[in-house]
Structures are given as structure tokens and as C-alpha cells.
A and B are shown apart, each in its own frame.
Chain A
Amino acid sequence: GEDVEQSLFLSVREGDSSVINCTYTDSSSTYLYWYKQEPGAGLQLLTYIFSNMDMKQDQRLTVLLNKKDKHLSLRIADTQTGDSAIYFCAESSGSSNTGKLIFGQGTTLQVKP
């Protein structure tokens, strides 16, 4: 079945770049998403990418997609303490036409001052 995998934890210094990685198995995925979750809150959509794109940039965020390897990454430039949160990678299930999301386990980003 469909599966999405992420590393569980990343720690960086304030001002450094953060790179969060994700792999997925569904070759028919057409859209891939990054969500951010702060404590006690729901999921905030950060960005998404269509599978015919290799890269998408939005201010401090850069998404890279390697469709051949089914690998997605999120780069946060000039990471700030306010970026500390859990980041979820998700794919829109290719085997259904409902748009339901399959999520990774989430990567906890810790930003040290």
C-alpha cells in the first residue's frame, strides 16, 4: 500500500538552513504537501508541489522533488526559533479520487538559539 516515511528529529542552530526529507511509495502521486504543526494546534499548510515539477520556491522555503527516487525535501533558509514545530510530508493518494492524504510520521524540528 501507500507509505510515506520521514526522519523523526532534526536539530539546527538559528540562522542555519534546515533540510527535512521524505520518501513515498505511490508512483501515481500527483501532489505532495508539507504541513507544519505547532503544539496544541492543527496542521498549517506550508507549500505543495505537483509531480511534474522538480522544484518550488516560496520565500524561505524550497521544495525539491526527485520523482525517480520518490524523494521529497523541504529546505528552510535562515531557520528561526519560531520554525520549531513538527513538519509533515503528505501525498494525495493516487489510488483514489477522493484527495485523501497519506501522511508521514512527522519530523520534529528543534531550533537552538
Chain B
Amino acid sequence: GAGVSQSPSNKVTEKGKDVELRCDPISGHTALYWYRQSLGQGLEFLIYFQGNSAPDKSGLPSDRFSAERTGGSVSTLTIQRTQQEDSAVYLCASSPQGNLRNQPQHFGDGTRLSIL
């Protein structure tokens, strides 16, 4: 597709379950970012990928959060043993090259995660 694609668009799960969120970036974009948008915290950076490696994981809030990227394309964000405070919209963005700041990030529509 032409834009960043995220799935699922909505996810409702019970506390304690694991969830996987998927991001398919714009074709050819080597940089991929995950952000979280929540009512109390606004928009927060989680992790940055350049190709398949993640040189900046500084925004991951706990060791229950992990992410990987394979083939320099699709990325999955995994949250283990979900807690209610994990409820948020998880946004993915991509850009042609992350370390050049004049290349804007393009965002997907996000996954709305609700933990019961």
C-alpha cells in the first residue's frame, strides 16, 4: 500500500495476556518508529529501528515491552502480561532514513489497545 499500515486497528484483551501489534512501513523506508498515545502521557516515543537493528530502545516503559523488525520491513511490538496502564493507541511511523532529520515521519492510523 501507499502508506504505513497497522494491524489490528483495535484490540481488546484481558489483563495478563500477551499481545502483538504489527506495523508495515512504507516500502523502501529504512527507519521505523513506535510511539504510544495515552490520555495521561500524550505522545511518547518507544523505540527506533534502522533496518533490522534498534539503536534506540530508550522509550520502552518496562521489560514487558519488546519489538523486532525482520527483513528491514515489518515490525511487531509485543507486550507481555498486559496491565491496565498499557491501554493506549500505539502508533507506528516510518521515514526514508531516520538519522537525517529533514525526512519527515509518516504515521499509520494506530492500534487502539484496551486492557480489561
Report which A residues bind B (CB closer than 8 A): 30-31, 33, 35, 40-45, 48, 50, 88, 90, 92, 96-106
Query: What's the interface size class on B, roughly?
Result: 20 to 34
> How would you classify the secondary structure of chain B's contact residues: helix, strand, loop or mixed?
strand
A42-B91, A43-B91 given as contacts; is B98 within 8 A of A99 (CB)? yes
Q: How far is the CA of A65 from the CA of B53 in the complex (A)?
A: 35
Question: CB-CB contacts of B93-116 with A at 8 A, as 1s and 0s?
Answer: 101001111111111111000000
Chain B: residues with CB nearer than 8 A to chain A?
Answer: 4, 6, 31, 33, 35, 42-43, 45, 48, 50, 55-56, 59, 91, 93, 95, 98-110
Task: Give chain A residues whose Cβ lies under 8 Å from the Cβ of B4.
Answer: 42
B48, B91, B102, B107: the one within 8 Å of A31 (CB)? B102
Across chains A and B, the number of contacting residue pairs, with CB separation under 8 Å, is 66
Q: How far is the CA of A41 from the CA of B9 in the complex (A)?
A: 10
Is the pair A98, B48 in contact by a Cβ cutoff of 8 Å?
yes
Q: Which residues of B contact A103 (CB under 8 A)?
A: 42-43
Write the nearest CB–CB distance from A74 to chain B, whole angstroms. 15
Q: How far is the CB of B58 from chain A (nearest CB, A)?
A: 8
Given A41-B109, A45-B104, the answer on whether A99 and B99 have CB atoms closer than 8 Å is: yes
Query: Whole-angstrom distance between the alpha carbons of A105 and B41 in the complex?
Result: 8
Q: A23 to nearest B CB, angstroms?
A: 15
